[in-house]
Structure 1
């Protein structure tokens, strides 16, 4: 277990039954290897809702609205169209750089991995995009480190809701629609 996940488990214990995934099939569908911390995170918590605000996307999520593979396809298409009219974040200036979603919020903000050419999945960092605008933030941490650091107040985002995190954390695993 990575150190960020260990911190998260101490903060919010995961449900008792881990969710096993066929990661090879997931990565084939995404045409990309995924970070090992994300795999551990989703195996422990699954598709989930954190503090009534943030949704962790999961491949094959029982709630289709939060399926990682579908989100990746939709966001790739949406961003390609958007960047015909809006400026890309400077972090995506390097040819071959892209973003892949891993979480979203009740307000529509999207949390992405920043994927750069030649960079291993375990080196991917986090980018946050506001719901209805062109503001982006970059955080040089893994997704699990981002989640635990936001929940503990060690890291703050100017884009995510000021009401997040809650003083008393809430966690629920997503259920089928």
Structure 2
């Protein structure tokens, strides 16, 4: 277990039943291997809601609204249309760079992995995009580092809600609706 995930398990005890995934199918659908820390996060917590605000996406999520593969398809299409009208953030100017969503919020902000050419999945960092605007933030953290740091208050985003994290953490594993 990686250190940020261990920190999360101390903050919020994980559900008793881990979620096993067919990572080969998910990675084939996305066309990339996924980061090890994300796979461990999903195995431990599954698709989940943190502090009644942030939703971690899961491939094949029991709640279809938070399926990683569906979100990647939708966000790729949405961003392709967006770049026709808005300037890309500097981190995305290289045409070989791409983003894949790994989390969203109840306000519609989206958290992405920033994937640069030649970069290994375990080195991907986090980009946050505001819901209805062109502001982006880049954090040099893995997704699990980002989540743990956000929940402990060691990381602050100007895009995410000022009410996140909650003083007393809440957690919900996502289930079929």
C-alpha separation between the residues in 1 aligned to 2:123 and 2:117?
Answer: 11
C-alpha separation between the residues in 2 aligned to 1:160 and 1:142?
Answer: 17
Q: Which runs of 5+ in 2 are unaligned?
A: none
C-alpha separation between the residues in 2 aligned to 1:175 and 1:29?
Answer: 22
Residue 132 of structure 2: aligned partner: 132
C-alpha separation between the residues in 1 aligned to 2:86 and 2:9?
Answer: 39
Residue 100 of structure 1: aligned partner: 100
C-alpha separation between the residues in 1 aligned to 2:15 and 2:95?
Answer: 41
Secondary structure of the residue aligned to 2:28 is: helix
Deviations 1:93-123 (A, max 9, x none): 1230011000000000000000001000000
Superposition RMSD on alpha carbons, in Å?
Answer: 0.5
C-alpha separation between the residues in 2 aligned to 1:92 and 1:160?
Answer: 20
C-alpha separation between the residues in 1 aligned to 2:33 and 2:85?
Answer: 30
C-alpha separation between the residues in 2 aligned to 1:176 and 1:95?
Answer: 37
Residue 8 of structure 1: aligned partner: 8
Count of residues in Structure 1 that have an aligned counterpart in Structure 2:
177
- 1:30 is displaced (CA, Å) by 0.6
C-alpha separation between the residues in 2 aligned to 1:97 and 1:166?
Answer: 34
Residue 156 of structure 2: aligned partner: 156
C-alpha separation between the residues in 1 aligned to 2:69 and 2:175?
Answer: 18
Secondary structure of the residue aligned to 1:80 is: helix
Q: 1:11-160 alignment to 2 at 5 Å?
A: 11-160=11-160
C-alpha separation between the residues in 2 aligned to 1:156 and 1:137?
Answer: 11
- 1:159 is displaced (CA, Å) by 0.1
C-alpha separation between the residues in 2 aligned to 1:153 and 1:57?
Answer: 22
TM-score normalised by the chain length of structure 1: 0.99
TM-score normalised by the chain length of structure 2: 0.99
- 1:175 is displaced (CA, Å) by 1.6
Q: Which runs of 5+ in 1 are unaligned?
A: none
Deviations 1:139-171 (A, max 9, x none): 000000000000000000000000000000000
